[in-house]
Amino acid sequence: MTAASPVITPRRAGVASRGSCSASAPGSRTGATTAVNTCPPGRRGTRAPASTQENAAEWSPVLTSPSASGNGFKVYVYPQQKGEKMSESYQNILSSIEGSRFHTPEPGQACLFVLSLDTLDRDGLSPQYVHSLRAKIQGLPPWNGGKNHIIFNLYSGTWPDYTEDLGFDIGLAMLAKASISTENFRPNFDVSIPLFSKDHPRTGGQRGYLKHNAIPPYRKYMLVFKGKRYLTGIGSDTRNALYHVHNSEDVVLLTTCKHGKDWQKHKDARCDRDNAEYDKYDYREMLYNSTFCLVPRGRRLGSFRFLEALQAACVPVMLSNGWELPFSEIIDWNTAAVIGDERLLLQIPSTVRSIHQDKILSLRQQTQFLWEAYFNSVEKIVLTTLEIIQDRVLRHTSRSNLMWNSLPGGLFTLPQYSTHLRDFPFYYAKLGIKPSPKFTAIIHVVTPLVSQSQPVMKLLVAVAKSQYCAQVIVLWNCDKPLPAKYRWPATSVPVIVIEGESKVDFALTVWQSFPDRIVGYPARSHFWDSNKERWGYTSKWTNDYSMVLTGAAIYHKYYHYLYTTYLPVSLKSMVDQMSNCEDILMNFLVSSVSKLPPIKVTQKKQYKETMMGQSSRASRWADPDHFAQRQTCMNKFASWFGTMPLVHSQMRLDPVLFKDQVSILRKKYRDIERL
């Protein structure tokens, strides 16, 4: 029996929508109740009020069917209709959804629906404007008055008023909208997104500009702005007054009158001087050399300048009264921006000068985190939007404020794994706790490395002897049959076999200090081959490394969950088919999350082929095809991530007294020197 599709409709916080059917969600761990749609067709929820301009109104989703909790939160994208034009930006949005773990090709499994009709630009004067959108949407059978739909929009309204009218009735659909006002924003229902340009990358995205913390954190300029003045009309008041605080020294606020075809008709006495000074400065140079960047409203409330300032580690100073800041539901913007008031423009210079350098450094660092976590690609903007809605739907597994506002961010902290901070490797320092001193050893027995069982048994006994070992899991994927039960050695810890010693102690001790990283022995590196214009993989012994092979490594179990649920099926299938590259993919994933390199311990540089028998084939590590596959994997993985997440390191950790000319009895990890 197929579960009914969930219905998400606006309602007052704490008040059930009239006419909706709801029940307590089973299995809620927090005791919270979730309304489950059990309404027959035609009775699902109620229509939103005709006017959404009730400032006191709080909205929350009326939730969900088993499809949202049993099969996961799924999103369906309508098939693209023939002859319908679509902007590159909207295509990037749809591609980001279709490439995500949320996507389903089956509308019956979906909790949320996304139109294939381009709704991004609703400015009637724009060449990207889609005409007759109202009729086209109403003709879609699943539209159902907009229930369970989300509409993405960047531009609405046109000259001279630039209202937020989209030109069609959105019904009960949610809005993911840029430049949305607090007056029209429906809390816990709509999502405020940033305004981004058509050149914004779909995946990957540019890294933040801040590479090193400067102490004190001041730059050449204290406060800058360069943009159009808007001589008349909406958005002109603040920009026309900027010259009052401009001093041509550390506060440089530049405007030009050259905007539109008839700007000279409205030209005033300051225009010639403003235009001349405007041309003397390079915008990018100002952006990257200023402590604060002014972000005033333009014709609309939002502007590209907001994201540009975040990327440049230039603390945004917001002057756009009534703008619902992007992702305000989850982001604490007071930790990354200065929220100003257009009516108090003259106080802005003294306000930013009064901010202590410690606070400036904190603000700047947070701009970089937010930029890379949620804003540097279309994919991250879209996924953040979907994660916010999923948290509303599945409130009992929603993320905490700390998860959203600290590394690695909400996109990499999946609440389906746990809602407790202590279960993730990122928050031990914040919580003042240390990770568990116990580990599970996974021994992967593969062909052709093993031709006899005895070396495996020796390895099993050696690992099980570790004081930190909790259990051993043997993954038997060998061309030899599984040894009889009586041939397995007795150990003090459980040994689980799944068919289809001192160095360990030291690695575990190191990992406890770096629980968000991979800690292990054999290391490898990546490089950019400029001749072939592709990434390369090398096992040569060099002065740095960027990967630690997981065949002999320790990492947090949460990364296994991320590997299984976050990565796309295409990458995991490729790894399974080749029986290769799973270690590279894990390194990509962990470095993408932590933004840090792995940690190598001891001098061990390669695997010892101790399990090779006389009749065994050559090691796969010496197989040129195996090595070529790993080169291919590097570029496939980099393409999916949209960037190269691996980070080089020149650090290796060895025990104190390692290789020192002292008695072996004085050394804690005595066997390591024999590696």
Q: Which residues are known to be catalytic?
A: 583
Residue type, 652: R
What residue has token string 């009749």? 615
Query: In 103-190, which residue ranges form alpha helices assigned H by DSSP?
Result: 133-138
Query: Which residue, among 433, 422, 424, 644, has the nearest Cα to 516 in the 3D structure?
Result: 424
Give the list of residues 6+ apart from residue 609 with CB closer than 8 angstroms, or none: 449, 619
Give the list of residues 6+ apart from residue 534 with CB closer than 8 angstroms, or none: 528, 635
Q: 529 with 536: CB under 8 angstroms?
A: yes
Q: Is the peptide bond before 107 cis (omega within 30 degrees of 0)?
A: no
Radius of gyration of the chain, Cα coordinates, nearest whole angstrom: 29
Grouping H, G, I as helix, E, B as strand and the rest as coil, residue 525 is: strand
Q: 430 with 406: CB under 8 angstroms?
A: yes
Q: Is the peptide bond before 49 cis (omega within 30 degrees of 0)?
A: no
Residue type, 145: G
Query: Which residue, among 77, 308, 91, 84, has the nearest Cα to 198 in the 3D structure?
Result: 91
| DSSP notation for 489-518 | PP-SS-EEEE---HHHHHHHHHHHH-TTS-
Grouping H, G, I as helix, E, B as strand and the rest as coil, residue 453 is: coil
Q: How far apart are CA 623 and CA 507, in angstroms?
A: 29
Q: Which two tokens stand for residue 440?
A: 């599970």
The number of CA neighbours under 13 Å toward the Cβ of 260 is 16
255 beta partners:
227
Give the list of residues 6+ apart from residue 49 with CB closer than 8 angstroms, or none: 57
Q: How far apart are CA 35 and CA 16, in angstroms?
A: 9
Q: How far apart are CA 526 and CA 587, in angstroms?
A: 11
Query: In 406-521, which residue ranges form alpha helices assigned H by DSSP?
Result: 428-431, 454-464, 502-513
Q: 444 with 477: CB under 8 angstroms?
A: yes
Q: 337 with 307: CB under 8 angstroms?
A: no
Q: How far apart are CA 383 and CA 411, in angstroms?
A: 7
> What angle, rounded to 10 degrees, do the helices at 582-594 and 558-565 form?
110
Do you know the residue count of the chain? 675
Q: Which two tokens stand for residue 14?
A: 């704490």
